[in-house]
Amino acid sequence: MSGSDRLEASVIESVFDAVAETAPEIRAALPGRRVESDRENPSGETVMAADVHADELLEERIGLIDGVSGYASEERETVVDVGSEPKLGSESRYAVAVDPLDGSSNLRSNNAMGTVVGVYDGSLPARGRDLVAAGYVLYGPITTMVVATADGVREEVVTRGGDEGVERSVVRESISLPSDPVVYGFGGRVPDWTDGFRVFAREIESELKLRYGGAMVGDVNQVLTYGGIFAYPALADAPNGKLRLQFEANPIAFIIERAGGAASDGTEAILDVDPEELHQRVPLHVGNEQLVDRLEAAVESGQ
C-alpha cells in the first residue's frame, strides 16, 4: 500500500470511528433538545437545538482526525479549516461533509432521524465522484450505521458498551439492493410535483408499497433493505427540490451506487453533478437502476 493509500484508509476508518462514537451521544441528548434554537441555517431553515448539538459534537471529533483538512455541515455557512500536517505523509486533503441530524423535524413527533457523512478527496464543494466513502447513522428503534467504501456497503449495529465506550457489530456485509423492488417514498406535496414526475408516481403506486417517514435516511434505508425507490423531486416552487447536494444527495448516491443501484437528479447521475456552491440543493431520485431509468424517461418526457 502506498503512503497516500494508507492515509486514505486511515482517514476513512477514523471518520467512521468518530461518527460511531458520537452517535450514542447525539441520541442520548435528543430528549432535552426537541425545541427550536434561535438560529437559521444557510438554507434558510430554523435549526433545532438537537441540530446544533450534533453539529458541534461532530465538528469537534472529526476536526481532530489526522489527514482531514475541512469540516462542512448543513448548519454552517462555510467550510471549517481543521487541517493539520498528517503524520502518515502526503498532504492533508480530505474534507468531510455532514448532515448532523437528518429529518430533525421528526423530533417533535418522535420518529426516525439520521446523521449523514461524506468523505471527499478534495476541497468543498466537490463532485460526488470525489467521494471516497460515505455513510449514515439511523436512529431508529436501534442505532445502525451504514458504511460505503470502494470495497462495498456494510451495516453495523452501534451500542453503548461498558464505561461509556461504543460497541460495533457488523450485521450485514456486501449489501446490494434486492433485485425485486418492494417500496417507494416520495417527498413534497403532490400538487407541486412536475407533470412528468406525477405520471411516474401514478405508475409506481400500483407496483410498490408506500413507505415515507419524512427523514431521508430512514426512507433510503427502507430502499436499501427491501429494494425500491426514494425521491425528493423538483417542485413547482423549488425546481432544485429540497435536499442538499454536498451533505445529503452525494453521500446517499454514493452508498446506493456501491450497493448496485442508481441515483439521478432527473437528467444525470447525482455523482456527476458539478457543484456551484456549498449549500446548493438538487432533486434526488435513488434506488433500483431500472426504476431510476424509468423515472428519468418520465421526467424528461413530461417537461
Read off the C-alpha cell for 115.
446523521
Q: How far is the CB of 48 from Mg ion (least distance, A)?
A: 9
Q: Which residue matches cell numbers 455523482? A: 271
Q: Are strands 68-73 and 80-81 parallel, antiparallel or unpaired?
A: antiparallel
Q: Is 248 annotated as a binding residue?
A: yes
Query: Binding ligand FBP by CB under 6 A: which of 104, 149, 221, 246?
Result: 104
219 assigned to a ligand binding site: no
Site string for Mg ion, 96-115 (x = CB under 5 A): ---x-xx-------------
Among positions 86, 103, 135, 228, the unique one binding ligand FBP when judged by CB under 6 A: 103
What mask, x for binding ligand FBP by CB under 6 A, covers residues 46 to 85? ----------------------------x-----------
With beta carbons less than 8 A apart as the criterion, state whether 11 and 119 touch: yes
From 10, 250, 255, 284, select the one nearest 124 (Cα to Cα). 250
8, 55, 59, 99: which one binds ligand FBP (CB under 6 A): 99
DSSP assignment of 269-282 equals: BGGGPPP-STT-B-
3-class secondary structure for 123-137? CCCCCHHHEEEEEEE
- Does 14 carry a binding-site annotation? no
Q: Which long-range contacts (CB under 8 A, 24 or more apart) does 108-113 make?
A: 108/34, 111/213, 111/214, 111/215, 111/218, 112/138, 112/139, 112/140, 112/213, 112/215, 112/217, 112/218, 113/139, 113/215, 113/217, 113/218
Q: Under a CB-based contact definition with an 8 Å cutoff, are residues 143 and 170 in contact? A: no
With CB under 6 A as the contact rule, the residue among 216, 249, 273, 286 that binds ligand FBP is 216
Contact 129, 272 (CB under 8 A): yes
Q: Rounded to the nearest whole angstrom, what is the least distance from the CB of residue 249 to ligand FBP in the complex?
A: 11
When CB distances are held under 5 to 8 angstroms depending on the partner's kind, the choice from Mg ion, ligand FBP, none that residue 242 binds is ligand FBP
**Distance from the first to the final alpha carbon of the chain:** 49
Among 55, 59, 102, 130, binds ligand FBP (CB under 6 A): 102
Could you say which of Mg ion, ligand FBP, none residue 215 binds, taking C-beta under 5 to 8 angstroms by partner kind?
ligand FBP
On whether 43 is known to bind a ligand per the annotation, the reply is no
Q: Does 125 help bind ligand FBP (rule: CB under 6 A)?
A: no
> Toward ligand FBP, which CB reaches closer, 12 or 215?
215
Least Cβ distance, residue 270 to ligand FBP (angstroms):
15
* Binding positions for ligand FBP, rule: CB under 6 A: 45, 74, 99, 102-105, 187, 214-216, 232, 242
- Binding positions for Mg(2+) are 74, 99, 101-102, 248
